[in-house]
Amino acid sequence: MKHQHHVEKPAKKEKMDHSKMAHSKTKHGSNPTMGHEGHNHAMMIADFKKRFYVVLALTFPIMLLSEMIQQFIGVEWQFTGSSYILFALSSIVFFYGGWPFLKGLVDEVKAKNPGMMFLIGFAITVAYVYSVAVVFGLQGMDFFWELSTLILIMLLGHWIEMKSIAGASKELELLVQLMPVDAHMVMPDMMHDVKTDTLKENDIILVKPGEKVAADGVVLEGESYLNESMLTGESKPVQKGKGDNVIAGAINGNGSIKVTVSHAAKDSYLSQVIKLVDDAQKSKSKTQLLADKAARWLTLIALVSGIGTFLYWYLTGQSLAFAMERMVTVIVICCPHALGLAVPLVVAKSTALSAKNGLLIKNRTAFENSRKITTIVFDKTGTLTVGKFEVSKVVSLQKELLENEILRLASALEQKSEHPIATGILQKVKELSLPIPATENFNAITGKGVEATVEGKKILVVSPGYLKENNIPIPDSFEVNDTETVVFVLINNALAGFIALSDEIRPESAEAIKTLKQNNIKSILLTGDNDKVAKSVSETLGMDSFMAQVLPHQKLEKIKELQGKGEFVAMTGDGVNDAPALAIADVGIAVGSGSDIAAETAGIILVNSNPKDVVNLILFGKATYRKMMQNLVWATGYNVIALPLAAGVLYNQGVLLSPAAGAVLMTVSTIVVAINASMLKVKS
């Protein structure tokens, strides 16, 4: 039985750094860094769009003035100075349209990290310099129309790509926009509208029907249904009344509620989620590092192949213009554009989508590793069961002692605990309107229960394991069913009675276990409860096995045992007394952490304690990894086929790619990767 509920929570291993999250908000109430980044991104999209249209307008006269195009359409529009007009128009295209790429080239050279911009900048510079030389006397044909169409398509590709990135991060922006800008603060004599980010702990705010909750807090007055779906993925509105917790960003139904603010906006659950999603999108997993490495190699291959192609054709007797054209085409087609986007787009999309569905990713590698899970260890209470214990039986073992007296004394010890068993006992005491006495010399017996002095008597509320260890015989009259959890009450070391509580199995649990089975993933129940309860729950749900009477510190050993058998283990726990087990598991999943999303050691946090979310997480992890692999295969496979064609391998068969065709192929490749990433969905 998990009864370590009186022990203080261990210190968090990692706290979210809220100091970095500035207090001020943009017009949507977002944190300013997000707003600033979003604004910059929008400006860059607008810049590429403007450059694209200017280059498009100039490309038409450039093509009409180009000798090769004139030959192709059978006209001759050459006139004195036409080559200089062509040079002037192309120079505008090169310096204005090509500016983002030229700037990128310089930046990458400075950073000693040549990449995509370096390749594009290098290719257009070679084409431009050669064409200018032709205008001023070098024998050959200029490249101006190819240069213009190449820059045009590159600008279009970048514009589309940036819009795709903006789309992938849109879910995060939507989360940011959930926080309302203003709040109705209740003053002693009046109501006063204030900025959300000025709210402090213990302020009282009014949330009117249809409005968003402005801060995390506790309902002080009123009743309403709240829609928390954008925060937790839970589609059904949740009923809230006095004493219930509410989350900032939730949408109020048709009742008015007054809320006591728990903490400032910067520490709200929503702010933490935004920070978490932002960090996860920026963090790199092994797949991302693999893609980065491949992109660096592709840059090197592009340069070597480009120069090699130039030398081959030039030294085998082709014209300088032909050799240059082949080099430019190879370098353009080899740009690791699609490869550079293959993983980041999927990362941005998956992380934000997860947050909207109540799956918060703290560690990208843990999320990607979820596809390898062979065994899931479920902590019983609150995950597979509702976690809401109700007193089903109170039995006195001493004739002169009433059942209510046993409950009253037990409640004195349980009043300081948040454990589900304690909550169940206190709920019963509240229903019976029994007064709760004070305690002295309170002490928690790790994993076994609690003890204290109440009204001069030594009272213990303990698990059956404690009785066994201390050789206290369990009376013959002791009888509970398989699903009940029992605590014994001792008065002055004499067994006084017991309280039986039952915890209902969640309706979603059986379906979740069935889906895991279909995916060849074993499910194991881990609980501090006795064998009878564990066996009953395990068999009811059709789980593979169970581990009963496991104390918190033994959970770690059980996970190690499974790993020793070659299993890839995921552990789901509440993130407090399960911290060591969550840390040692291959994938640690903290469940039911509610607004405490900085659960110590878990790589992934599930906002709801729903076992279906664990299944969704694994299936989504697999889907995300599949998308990454598809994108990587597409991005590299395209280069393997296109590069030889660009180099002129099939030149003798009459197949030759122009630089513009190469740019089109590269852009199409990028768009395919972006569309594929955008099709990622969380199945629920």
Q: For the segment 182-202, what is each residue's pLDDT rounded down to a tens digit? A: 889 988 888 888 888 888 889
| d(C-alpha 162, C-alpha 258), whole Å | 43
From the CB of residue 84, how many other CB atoms can be counted at a distance below 10 Å?
11
Q: Dihedral of the CA atoms 30, 35, 36, 39 (nearest 10)?
A: -170
Q: Which of 171-175, 332-336, 453-457 has the lowest mean pLDDT?
A: 171-175
Q: What is the mean pLDDT of residues 20-31?
A: 33
> Is 379 a catalytic site residue?
yes
Least confident of 54-58, 389-393, 575-579, 672-676: 575-579
Region 674-682: what's the mean pLDDT?
A: 83
State yes or no: pLDDT of 88 exceeds 90: yes
Strand partners, 499: 394, 487
For residues 660 and 130, which has the higher predicted lDDT (pLDDT)? 130
Residue 336 clears pLDDT 70, i.e. is over it: no
Share of the chain above pLDDT 90, in %: 15
Query: Does residue 619 form part of some domain?
Result: no
For residue 230, what pLDDT band results from cuts at 50, 70 and 90? low
- Please tell me the predicted confidence (pLDDT) of residue 543: 93
Q: In degrees rounded to 5, what are phi and psi of residue 205?
A: -125, 155
Say whether pLDDT at 58 is over 90. Answer: yes
Between 655 and 458, residue with greater pLDDT: 458
167/604: higher pLDDT: 604
What are the tens digits of pLDDT across the range 617-649? 888 988 888 988 888 888 878 778 888 888 888
Tokens representing 450 are 């609690």
* Same-domain check for residues 442 and 485: yes
573 or 510, greater pLDDT: 510
* Res. 387 pLDDT band, cuts 50 70 90: low
| Residue 485: CATH number of its domain | 3.40.1110.10
Please check whether residues 381 and 395 belong to one and the same domain. Answer: no
Of 415-419, 490-494, 547-551, 552-556, the range with the lowest mean pLDDT is 415-419
| Res. 212: pLDDT tops 80 | yes
451-499 pLDDT per residue, tens: 899 999 999 999 888 888 888 887 776 766 666 788 899 999 889 899 9
The pLDDT-based confidence of 520 (bands split at 50, 70, 90) is very high
Which of 22-31, 219-228, 265-274, 380-389 has the lowest average pLDDT? Answer: 22-31
Structural domain contains residue 205: yes
pLDDT at 344: 74
One-letter amino acid identity for 462? V
CA–CA dist 620, 360 (Å, integer):
12
Name 571's bridge partners.
Answer: 377, 588
Model pLDDT, residue 166: 66
Is residue 612 included in any domain, yes or no? no
Range of the domain at 142: 32-171+279-347+625-678
The per-residue pLDDT for range 303-318, each reduced to its tens digit, is: 899 899 999 999 998 8
- Of the residues 237, 267, 297, which one is the last residue of a structural domain? 267
Choosing from 197, 203, 278, 379, which is the catalytic residue? Answer: 379
Query: Which position has the higher pLDDT, 364 or 75?
Result: 364
Number of domains in the chain: 4
Tell me the average pLDDT across 370-396.
82
Same domain, 482 and 522: no
Among 89, 514, 71, 150, which Cα is nearest to 331's?
150
Place 660 in a pLDDT band, splitting at 50, 70 and 90: low
Q: Could you tell me if 553 and 435 lie in one domain? A: no
Residues 6+ positions from 201 with CB-CB distance below 8 Å: 261, 262, 263, 264
Rounded-to-integer distance, Cα 444 and Cα 6, Å: 6
Residue 64 domain flag: yes
Q: How far is residue 553's CA from residue 394's CA, in Å, rounded to a whole number?
A: 30
- Assign 26 a pLDDT band (cuts: 50, 70, 90): very low
Pick from 173-182, 306-315, 328-337, 348-357 the range whose average pLDDT is largest. 306-315
Report residue 50's pLDDT band, with 50, 70 and 90 as the boundaries: very high
Q: Are residues 380 and 509 in the same domain?
A: yes
With 60 as the cut, is the pLDDT of residue 4 above it?
no
Judged against a pLDDT cut of 90, whether residue 209 lies above it is answered with no
At 206 the pLDDT is 92
53 plus 67 within the same structural domain: yes
Average pLDDT of the segment spanning 49-72? 83
272 falls within a domain: no
- Which of 502, 528, 543 is a domain's end point? 502
Lowest mean pLDDT among 59-73, 165-179, 606-620, 624-638: 165-179
Could you tell me if 57 and 128 lie in one domain?
yes
CB atoms within 10 A of CB 150: 29
Average pLDDT over residues 127-141: 79
Residue 435 scores a pLDDT above 80 = yes
Tell me what the mean pLDDT of segment 90-114 comes to.
90
- The reported pLDDT for the residue numbered 170 is 59
Examine the domain organization and report whether 510 and 569 are in the same domain.
yes
pLDDT range class, residue 522, cuts 50, 70, 90: very high
Overall average pLDDT of the 329-354 stretch:
76
Claim to verify: residue 629 and residue 601 sit in the same structural domain: no
Looking at the structure, do residues 376 and 471 belong to the same domain, yes or no?
no
Give the chain's end-to-end CA distance (angstroms, integer): 32
24: in domain: no
- Residues 598, 269: contact at Cβ < 8 Å? no
Residue 421 resides in a domain: yes
pLDDT value at residue 564: 93
371 against 174, higher pLDDT: 371
Per-residue model confidence (pLDDT) at position 205: 93
Q: Please determine, for residue 658, whether its predicted confidence score (pLDDT) is greater than 80.
A: no
pLDDT at 14: 35
* Interatomic CA distance for residues 518 and 544, integer angstroms: 13
The answer on pLDDT for 405 being more than 80 is yes
Please report whether residue 462 resides in a domain. yes
Q: Please give the DSSP secondary-structure letter assigned to residue 382.
A: I
Note the pLDDT of residue 616: 87
164 plus 293 within the same structural domain: yes
Instruction: Indicate whether 51 and 164 sit together in one domain.
Output: yes
If you compute the radius of gyration of the chain from its CA atoms, what whole number of angstroms results? Answer: 33
663-677 pLDDT tens trace: 677 778 878 888 888
- pLDDT at position 30: 38
pLDDT at residue number 97: 93
224 neighbors 232 (Cβ within 8 angstroms): no
Q: What is the mean pLDDT of the chain?
A: 79
Residue 147 pLDDT more than 60? yes
Neighbours of 22 (CB within 10 A): 12
**pLDDT score, position 521:** 93
Residue where one domain finishes, among candidates 502, 518, 535: 502
